[in-house]
Amino acid sequence: MTRTADGCTTDGRTTDRYTVVSADCHAGADLLDYKPYLEKRYHDDFDAWAATYVNPYEDLLADTADRNWNSGRRLAELEVDGIVAEVVFPNTIPPFFPSASLLAPVPTRQELERRWAGLRAHNRWLADFCGQAPGRRAGVAQILLNDVGQAAREVRWAREAGLTGGVLLPGVPPGSGIPELYSTVYDPLWAVCAELDVPVNHHGGSASPPLGDEPAARAVFMVETTWFSHRALWHLVFGGVFRRHPSLRLVLTEQGSGWIPGVLEMLDYYHERLVSAAGRSAATAESKFGAGLAESMGPRPSEVWRANVYVGASFMRPHEVPLRERIGLEKIMWGSDYPHDEGTHPYSREGLRAAYAGLPAEEVAAMVGGNAARVYGFDPKFLARIAARVGPTVAEIAEPLTEAPADATSPAFAPGGGVRVW
């Protein structure tokens, strides 16, 4: 590891402190503050909607809700946590949505126009919010998939507006009526993202189908929600998206990371069966299922992963860390999930210790910040100068965490490491 003239290592780390970039944070405007970002023709509709809207989320009604939009408070709290930069996903309710856009039901055709206006208002607010902390926030733009041309245009606008976090790919739950993600109808969207080097982010929790109101539905949701989010990976791989757009980058965020090696082996297995069936007797099951797929799918899924896919491994659990080489050290991006209750704030330093104590400093530096800086276009040297003031020291993170903070609410500190089976 060499040092530059300003005392930083080549990965942007100061010689004794880590440059920590959270690859998973959330923000949004206070409800009424979205109005100035709406086109004027929607102002009356917005006033009527806002007057009767009841926010369904306790955390957005609490006295800590301003963490979503109070730039000064946010920077201060992240710095105390040792974090110098963040990738900003949405959190608050955009205009005309019944709930947060990640979880809102698919709109009817009549609702689409207003929903699009609401998302554009959020994206414009987010560009200004990121501008309040230059070089420290990579905002993730929101789109809908019902109009692919409009989605592609919004991606272009977001790139020009400086939203370096890329685009948030909505989930497509079964039965939604929207084409599945493997459909070639989305090629104009993938094309513009590849052309502009815009990361495509798929966040956990956005792809589950409705489960009803029975009490057991909450438990089933917890078990299944990450799996439904994982589906984006094999849909895009088997849909040949990366063959047609080889420079496209996909980031799977807040879906765990321990599932990745096993799923890649499983996907490689099916890929091999389908590809090897080419030219065989049409009577075999593989030939029937694999007809025409050998050329269209492209490389093996594990090869696609190495070339095109990354994981936003929010508050990586200790049991996942031994899998880091199989996942790919250059693929893992730690996240705090600020300001969510399940996030590591205000114990991110302890969360980093729980996961990474005892590992080589170069590996830790990559997972806690270096990889995210590369994927989202942060300037490592600029961030390292801030980290020299607030970043956790190498010695601090090397110290094993023997006891979790008593009032910590993050699964990062759950007994057994918060094991996920998917």
pLDDT tens-digit readout, 27-42: 999 999 999 999 999 9
Say how far apart CA 45 and CA 23 lie, in whole Å: 35
Per-residue CA distances from 123 to 36, 154, 274, 328 (Å): 12, 9, 41, 32
Name the β-bridge partners of 83.
Answer: 20
Q: Which residues does 43 contact at the CB level (< 8 Å), separation at least 6?
A: 35
pLDDT for 9 equals: 59
Closest CA to 304 of 338, 342, 260: 260
Evaluate if residue 192 carries a pLDDT over 90: yes
Say how far apart CA 116 and CA 142 lie, in whole Å: 9
Convert the pLDDT of each residue in 102-126 to its tens digit.
777 777 777 899 999 999 999 999 9
Handedness of CA 179, 184, 185, 186 (dihedral sign): positive
Domain-wise residue ranges, the chain: 20-417
Strand positions, DSSP E, 324-377: 332-335
Closest CA to 150 of 176, 115, 124, 179: 115
Closest CA to 158 of 199, 191, 188: 199
Over range 14-20, report the average pLDDT. 88
Token pair belonging to 364: 């830790």
Convert the pLDDT of each residue in 235-286 to its tens digit.
999 999 999 999 999 999 999 999 999 999 999 999 998 888 766 655 667 6
End-to-end CA distance of the chain: 36
Evaluate if residue 99 carries a pLDDT over 90: no
pLDDT for 275 equals: 86
Evaluate if residue 158 carries a pLDDT over 90: yes
> Residue 405 region, left (φ>0) first, then alpha (ψ -120 to 50), else beta?
beta
Token pair belonging to 23: 């690859």
Evaluate if residue 339 carries a pLDDT over 60: yes
pLDDT for 203 equals: 96
Band (409; pLDDT cuts 50, 70, 90): very high
Per-residue CA distances from 222 to 168, 231, 315, 408 (Å): 21, 16, 17, 20
Query: Domain 20-417 has what CATH class?
Result: alpha beta
Evaluate if residue 419 carries a pLDDT over 60: no
Say how far apart CA 235 and CA 229 lie, in whole Å: 11
Band (416; pLDDT cuts 50, 70, 90): low
Strand positions, DSSP E, 246-329: 250-253, 309-314
Q: CB 282: neighbour CB atoms within 10 A?
A: 8
Whether a cis peptide bond, with omega within 30° of 0, leads into 339 is yes
Name the β-bridge partners of 319.
Answer: none
Over range 295-313, report the average pLDDT. 95
Residue 404: φ, ψ to 5°: -70, 150
225, containing H or E segment = helix 216-238
39-48: burial string, b at 16+ Cβ within 10 Å, e else: eeebeeebee
Token pair belonging to 355: 């996961």
